[in-house]
Structure 1
Amino acid sequence: MHREYSKETVNVQTLINEQEFSPYHWLVLFFCFSILALDGFDTAAIGYVAPALVAEWGVSKPALAPVLSAALFGLAFGAMAAGPSADRFGRKNVLMVSTIVFALFSLLTAYATDITSLSALRFLTGLGLGAAMPNAVTLIAELAPAKRRSFVVNAVYVGFPLGAAAGGFVAAGVIPHYGWQGIFILGGILPLALLPFMMRSLPESVSYMTAKQYPVEKISRVLERLCNCNLSHVKKYVMGEHSGKGKAEKSALALILSKPFLVSTLMLWVTYFMGLLIFYLLTNWMPLMMKDAGFTTEKAALLTALFPLGGGVGTLVSGVLMDKFNPGRVLSMVYVLAAILLVAVGQNMDNVSLFAVLVFLAGVMVTGAQASLPALAAPIYPTQGRATGIAWMLGVGRFGGIAGALLGGVLQGMKLPFSQTLILLAIPACIAMLALWILSVKTSRTEEDIDGSGQVLEAAESK
């Protein structure tokens, strides 16, 4: 039943927060989830095809380090460019363009003939991948009701580890029959097939449209689909940013680095950096390390896939806990468990069943905590800096992924045992835990509107 709002000022985000999760919310969640799943599939693909590249091209394993890290450089620069672009041009517009970019360059990757061309194409693919993720996360964060926001954002973000895990299962079936090229062709075709439906059905963020003074008719059309209410008689809307004109004129990057947000921003960067160092070292190099330990290529891919697959469970559980308790402290404790489990994985290589369970549980903690950080970051920043805040956290953090990919190559060259590598990875997990604890002390959780704006709609009396 539609609710009628008469002669009253309606705060846009408050109106969304009062609603239940609507069918339109589910549609938006599906598209954003799909983008992150495809993002995860494509990002992790190079790790799964690495053994096939070594065999086909006759290159050494350390020589693959530039290829494994190239996409991560693209992810970093793509994210950092996409945040300010989205705060200027809109979340949906940047999301559509970035999807086209990573789909096309993924297709072209299948035609690479050497390390140099493969590295260049992975970098260009990474630009699109890096730009897509923060905008999908920001969009769903700004459209979701506050009482379910952490869970909803995490439900979207879980697409990334699930997509990365799917890459392992797909690689095990595709590579023996179609070669490593088949993985990248599939990674390009799927997002292009999804694109027309997203362009037609995805909305722009209501908070963004209000902040940018879009026509009220456009805003009300999206609100009517999101909320079970009748806003057909909305006659005008009024901008009322808390900080007034001065804050609106501050650049998004300057805003997230300003005094009120600086500590939170830095702690988010440190946490994301450390989490991705762990994630990418393991997803990129674990298949090769397992192969050295005596596993077949197919079994190594399947066992490695358990690590990001565990993140799907961890992300959803973390989202529920973050909606109930202090989110920073929840994730801090998750990283403590991650450090313990990483050490345990390396001590149980001989028992394959126990090893598989521990890899999965380590993924529950590491990937679950990592995937929950955008939900933690979103409420910290106001609308005019949110996409930039999330994107720069993802972008700066990507350099942790680059460090992990390169460090894996160094450790491979040193022939360091797998068990010792995992003990070393407990150190960045502990650093992430400490950064999150500092963040939880600095920022107390609030029930204010996600954008903290004073954006309002004045609804005329229904006739």
Structure 2
Amino acid sequence: MEVIDATDGGAQFSARLNRIPVMTRSHKRWLAVLAALLLVDMADLNTFAFAAPAIRADWGLSVSDVGTITAASFLGMFAGSIVGGRLADRFGRKRIIIGATVFFSTFSLLSAFAVGVADLAVYRVLTGVGLQAMTVVVLTYVSEMFPKLHRGRAQTWIVAFSLLGVPAMAWLARWIVPIGPSAWRWIFVLGTSGLLLIAVTARWLPESVRWLQENGHTERAEEIVARIESEAREITRAELPQILPQPVVAAGRPGDLFRGGYSKRTIVLCLTMALALSGFYGYNSWVPTLLTEHGFTTTQSLTYSSVMSLATVPGALLALLFIDRVERRTAVLVLYSMVGMLMLVFGFTDSDTVMVASGLLITLLLQASVPCVYTYLPEIFPTSLRGFGAGVGNGVGRLAVFATTFLVAAILAQLGFTAVFLYLASVVVLAGLIMGKFGERTLGRSLEEITMTADEGKHQQRIPNTQPSTSGT
């Protein structure tokens, strides 16, 4: 890709954003909107996991049937992640966030009226399309609109708040399911709450400045950046730091992700996401059913799952202690290694107390890794391909979960409960090793600087950058 100098005019918008030293009123408003959207997204994502035991009892489903429906939603997520990311690069981040919210809310509602495995699987596929289209674009938006030294913390707060949807859905399921044989349908109705956020999103969330700059909408970009700068001056009561020129990579084509300097990033990201999400959802989506198959009653299974889900939000908040101090790749390696060991404890113990305790810690550490991975996803690609690049990595991960869902069902049926956790521990640790060894350095660096470290960028003319390094090791 050709590298151009960002020294004046519209090309300076990225540099002006990079120098903002604080989170302004606008940033906090956007954070609230994005967190609310992801809360609904996260709750809907977990509806079937908590409804599955009741649906099995109501419809007389086998473990294989549960696996089919669970896998179907991840197949939809694969498509939604890639298509949503690409559409966001073409038509803007805001439009796709709103459109995807309407899409997944509609099909979540239809899931409540399903009459069998086939139509429920179709509805969950289409729900998954909308869920991941929105998720990928929200992550991209955060990376582009929040100050570089606060990207990780902004992502953490959004993830932490959104994760309230997990225990909320778990406890609602615990309350709703016992009401009657078909009461589980109301769990899916809750997924339509995303529609209530459309008006607020349309009013409060501006388009991404970097996307506006990339597509020639300089007047709109200037208005947004000027407002942020004014708010930052009010907070600091001082002039903002000097604007430092930033390299800007010219618009590329989708194929650029698979050749030249970006190919390594794409491959490493896809491998990491495939393994990590296989372990993450292999655990979270299957725990209620796995516990039931291990001999617990449906009520006990939902109770234990609900208790373990209490660690989700504290787990995400745990990332605040290190996310903008430790390299993303290092944090992911350490967290996944610890999760792998705890999964072995969970799978081998005969003590209910140890099982619940290790389950709590697994949930805590898995959720602490989520902000790290979510922050990293869009950081390593240029603006013109950021949504698509993040979508490809995330989409491949969801496709791997689709395949893993059947694998977990087969392992459970043929080898048993303990073998499932041997598998889950292995894939999570391997994901951490790949990220830790081959991932990119992103801590404290502008998106433009990260982009310029791609291998092909080494052969291009660089823009001198006199800013002191704040990168981690």
Instruction: Specify if TM > 0.5.
Output: yes
Q: Following the alignment from structure 2 to structure 1, what is the Cα–Cα distance between the partners of residues 392 and 318?
A: 25
Whole-angstrom distance in 1 between the partners of 2:343 and 2:248: 45
Given that 1:308 and 1:367 are in contact with CA atoms closer than 8 Å, whether structure 2 keeps it comes out as: no
Secondary structure of residue in 1 paired with 2:216: coil
What pairs with 1:13-412 in structure 2 (closer than 5 Å)?
A: 13-19=14-20, 20-159=22-161, 161-177=163-179, 179-188=183-192, 190-216=193-219, 218-228=220-230, 242-243=248-249, 247-248=250-251, 250-251=252-253, 253-307=254-308, 309-352=310-353, 354-412=354-412
Q: What are the Cα deviations for residues 392-422 of structure 1, in whole angstroms up to 9, with x where unaligned? A: 11111101221232222213322x3323321
Deviation at 1:332, TM superposition (A): 0.9
**TM-score relative to the length of structure 1:** 0.86
Worse-matched range after superposition: 178-187 or 298-307: 298-307
Instruction: Return the offset for 1:8.
Output: 9.3
Query: How far apart are 1:337 and its partner, in Å?
Result: 0.7
Please state how far the C-alpha of 1:10 moved relative to its aligned partner.
8.4
Please list the CA deviations of residues 77-96 of structure 1 after superposition, one character each: whole Å capped at 9, or x if unmatched: 01111111101100110111
- What is the rounded CA distance, in whole Å, between the counterparts of 1:9 and 1:428 in structure 2? 45
Distance change (3 Å), C-alpha of 1:446 and 1:61: closer
Question: What displacement does 1:308 show?
Answer: 5.2
CA RMSD between the two structures: 2.5
Give, as a single letter, the amino acid of the residue that structure 1 aligns with 2:446. D
| Greater mean alpha carbon deviation, residues 361-370 or residues 263-272 | 361-370
User: How far apart, CA to CA, are the structure 1 residues paired with 2:306 and 2:276?
Assistant: 17
8 Å CA contact 1:279–1:367 kept in 2: the answer is no
**Contact 1:303–1:356 (CA<8 Å) still a contact in 2?**
yes
Asked if 2 retains the 8 angstrom alpha-carbon contact of 1:267 and 1:438, the reply is no
Contact in 1 for aligned 2:315/2:365 (Cα 8 Å) = yes
State percent identity of aligned pairs.
23
- Answer whether contact 1:374 1:390 (CA < 8 A) is retained: no
Contact kept in structure 1, 2:108 and 2:191, CA below 8 Å: yes
Deviation, 1:125, is 0.9
The Cα of 1:136 is off from its aligned counterpart by 0.8
- TM-fit CA distance, 1:297: 2.2
Partner Cα distance (1:9, 1:43) in 2: 39
Distance in 1, matches of 2:429 and 2:286, equals 21
Residue 419 of structure 1 is matched in structure 2 by: 418
Partner SS, residue 158 of structure 1: helix
**Within 5 Å, which residues of 2 pair with 1:415-454?**
416-440=415-439, 443-445=440-442, 447-452=444-449
Q: Aligned partners of 1:277 and 1:10: how far apart in 2?
A: 40
Q: Is the 8 A contact 1:224 1:230 kept in 2?
A: no
| Farther-moved stretch of structure 1 (265-274 vs 416-425) | 416-425
Which residue type is aligned with residue 190 of structure 2?
L
Cα distance in 2, alignment partners of residues 201 and 157 from structure 1: 19
Report the CA distance shift for 1:430/1:240 in structure 2 as closer, same or farther (over 3 A).
closer
State whether residues 319 and 372 of structure 1, in contact with CA within 8 Å, keep that contact through their aligned partners in structure 2: no
Which consecutive unaligned segments of at least 5 residues does structure 1 have?
1-6, 232-238, 455-463
8 Å CA contact 2:75, 2:399 repeated in 1: yes
Q: 1:47, CA displacement in angstroms?
A: 1.2
Task: Mark the CA change 1:242 to 1:22 in structure 2 (over 3 Å): closer, same or farther.
Answer: closer
Distance 1:389 1:154 in 2: 21
Moved more, 428-437 or 369-378: 369-378
Structure 2, unaligned runs of 5 or more? 1-7, 234-244, 453-473
* Structure 2 CA distance for aligned equivalents of residues 230 and 214 of structure 1: 23
**CA offset at residue 161 of structure 1?**
4.0
Between the aligned partners of 1:8 and 1:74, the Cα distance in structure 2 is 41
- Contact (CA 8 Å) 1:338, 1:429: kept in 2 or not? yes
Spell out, residue by residue over 1:325-382, the C-alpha distance to the aligned partner (whole angstroms, 9 max, x if none).
2221121111111111111122334233x32221111112233324421211332112
The Cα shift of 1:225 comes to: 3.7
- Tell me whether 140-149 or 303-312 shows the greater mean CA deviation: 303-312
Q: How many residues align?
A: 430
Distance across 2 between alignment mates of 1:110 and 1:120: 12
Q: In the alignment, residue 398 of structure 2 is paired with which amino acid?
A: R
Residues 269 and 393 of structure 1 are in contact (CA less than 8 Å); yes or no, is this contact kept in structure 2? yes
- Amino acid in the other structure paired with 1:432: A
2: CA distance, partners of 1:230 / 1:362: 39
